């Protein structure tokens, strides 16, 4: 029923408004009683250690692994210029989530995160502009971010702007104001703190991709983390969206940057969630869309990027690849290649699907010996709802395409009812 409702466009478009109105009529408790066993229960892994442990246990007993997706994120224009506390709170929450994940006993838990949880989205946009204008090459920016991240790492992140800017002259970025320099440095210290924790607890970190106006800045931060932490194996991975026309070139460039610096490259490969908005923005701004012309073009690109990454991992087993897709054709092509290269159980190539969806893909993969993660959103009901609503709108193609899944579920329900008769 949940999957059926999620396939109705009117519901998806108005989901947040419907939930807010329901909340004002029923109160938070009433809303919680309706949503916990339905939408929240279907797609969210809980909001306490006990609930996440329970979710992890259910996954492990089905032969699947835990990937957690905290809901903290920010879009351009949403930042409160002076409020660094929000990003500190996000760090504390995501680090606590990481420690809980480590205590669930899941083998190498994967933690997704958004760079905009740790620094203002407007700043990430600015880094992207510096890259696209050619003020810095990706190599030069990563070197500077790396210097800014490391000089005086122990320094208190709340120090006054002047103190902080004085110790980042080595990683100074032209064109950023003193305040932006301070925000950048604080953000970099936060991601480094997360990386240090992940290394200590044995987690893998997956940096999520967002909109094209932020992605170059996000990649610069992700590559800086890879350079810092992927020295013996790839514990940090960046995400590549194959609906983008330049996906193949981007991943090749980023990989060679990391390999030149003697690191191991990690990538989560997705088709991309923001197609409608990307196309709309391009149209409004009168520029060509960055998104592939057709679904078929995206599919071809996806399979091409996956083949390229599997080839790389077969040369460097310390690299990491997450094949993040619910597309049966892509998944079975990847599975064949992985098996052919003998990479099925090495742990360096894994699959990822969203929790609450695509069981007909996850289970056969796991049963045939592949390593499969389910991406589980985690957080309190009221914080998760806006997140779920945005994801439902972004993933409407997937939700409306869950027909086969719904048919399989109905058939199984009927079978069980017949047994009861």
Ligand X SMILES: Cc1cc2nc3c(=O)[nH]c(=O)nc-3n(C[C@H](O)[C@H](O)[C@H](O)COP(=O)(O)OP(=O)(O)OC[C@H]3O[C@@H](n4cnc5c(N)ncnc54)[C@H](O)[C@@H]3O)c2cc1C
Which chain residues interact with ligand X by CB under 6 A?
A: 208-209, 239, 241, 243, 270-275, 291-292, 294-295, 298, 324-327, 352-354, 375, 395, 397-398, 401
Distance from C-alpha of 61 to C-alpha of 53, rounded to nearest angstrom = 12
Give, as one character, the DSSP assignment of residue 244: B
Owner of token pair 């990538």? 267
Residue among 188 and 306 whose Cβ is closer to ligand X: 306
Instruction: Identify which of residues 65 and 185 has a Cβ nearer to ligand X in the complex.
Output: 65
In the complex with ligand X, the residue whose CB is nearer, 92 or 397, is: 397
Q: How far is the CB of 162 from ligand X (least distance, A)?
A: 36
Which H or E element spans position 110? strand 110-113
Cα torsion through 349, 355, 358, 364, rounded to 10? 50
- Rounded to the nearest whole angstrom, what is the least distance from the CB of residue 167 to ligand X in the complex? 32
Bridge partners of 111, per DSSP, are 68, 205
Q: Rounded to an integer, what distance in angstroms lies between the CA atom of residue 352 and that of residue 372?
A: 6
> Nearest distance from residue 390's CB to ligand X, in Å?
11
Give the per-residue SS3 of 300-351: HHHHHHHHHHHHHHHHCCCCEEEEECCCHHHHHHHHHHHHHCCCCCCCCEEE
Cα torsion angle, 138, 287, 395, 213, sign: positive
- Comparing CB distances to ligand X, the nearer of 220 and 273 is 273
Phi, psi of 254 (to 5 degrees): -65, -40
CB of 369 to ligand X, least distance (A): 20
For ligand X, which is the closer residue by CB, 219 or 375? 375
Q: Which of 128, 131, 115 is nearest to 79 (CA)?
A: 115
Minimum Å distance from CB 242 to ligand X?
Answer: 7
Shortest distance, CB of residue 95 to ligand X, whole angstroms? 20
Residue 209 or 310 having the CB closest to ligand X: 209
Tell me the β-bridge partners of 269: 240, 323
| Pick 15 or 157: Cβ nearer ligand X | 15
Contacts of 413 (CB under 8 A, 6+ apart): none
Non-local (6+) Cβ contacts of 97 within 8 A are 52, 68, 70, 111, 378
Nearer to ligand X, 270 or 385 (CB): 270
**Least separation, in Å, of the C-beta of 379 and ligand X?**
16
Shortest distance, position 291 Cβ to ligand X, whole Å: 6
């Amino acid at each position: 029923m949940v999957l059926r409702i999620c396939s109705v466009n009117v519901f998806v478009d108005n989901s947040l408004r419907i939930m807010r109105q329901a909340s004002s009529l029923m109160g938070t408790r009433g809303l919680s009683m309706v949503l916990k066993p339905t939408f929240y229960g279907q797609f969210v892994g809980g909001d306490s250690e006990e609930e996440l442990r329970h979710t992890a246990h259910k996954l492990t007993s089905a032969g699947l692994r835990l990937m957690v997706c905290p809901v903290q994120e920010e879009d351009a224009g949403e930042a409160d210029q002076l409020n660094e506390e929000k990003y500190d709170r996000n760090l504390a929450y995501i680090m606590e989530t990481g420690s809980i994940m480590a205590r669930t006993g899941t083998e190498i838990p994967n933690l997704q995160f958004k760079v905009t949880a740790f620094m203002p989205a407007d700043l990430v946009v600015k880094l992207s502009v510096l890259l696209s204008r050619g003020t810095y090459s990706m190599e030069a920016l990563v070197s500077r971010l790396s210097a800014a991240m490391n000089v005086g790492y122990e320094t208190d992140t709340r120090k006054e702007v002047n103190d902080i800017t004085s110790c980042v002259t080595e990683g100074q970025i032209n064109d950023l104001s003193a305040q932006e320099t301070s925000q950048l440095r604080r953000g970099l210290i936060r991601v480094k703190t997360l990386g240090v924790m992940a290394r200590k607890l044995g987690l893998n970190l997956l940096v999520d991709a967002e909109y094209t106006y932020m992605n170059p800045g996000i990649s610069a931060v992700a590559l800086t983390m890879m350079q810092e932490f992927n020295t013996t194996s790839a514990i940090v991975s960046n995400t590549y969206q194959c609906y983008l026309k330049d996906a193949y070139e981007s991943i090749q460039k980023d990989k060679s940057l990391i390999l030149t610096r003697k690191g191991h490259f990690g990538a989560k490969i997705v088709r991309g969630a923001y197609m409608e908005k990307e196309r709309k923005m391009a149209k409004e701004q009168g520029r060509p869309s960055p998104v592939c012309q057709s679904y078929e073009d995206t599919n071809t690109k996806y399979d091409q990027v996956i083949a390229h990454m599997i080839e790389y991992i077969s040369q460097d087993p310390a690299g990491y690849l997450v094949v993040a897709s619910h597309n049966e054709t892509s998944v079975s092509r990847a599975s064949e290649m992985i098996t052919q290269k003998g990479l099925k159980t090495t742990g360096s190539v894994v699959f990822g699907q969203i929790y609450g969806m695509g069981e007909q893909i996850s289970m056969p993969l796991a049963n045939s010996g592949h390593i499969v993660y389910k991406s589980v959103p985690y957080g309190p009901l009221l914080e998760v709802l806006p997140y779920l609503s945005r994801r439902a709108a972004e993933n409407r193609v997937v939700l409306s395409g869950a027909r086969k899944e719904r048919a399989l579920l109905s058939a199984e329900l009927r079978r069980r009812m017949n047994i009861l008769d």
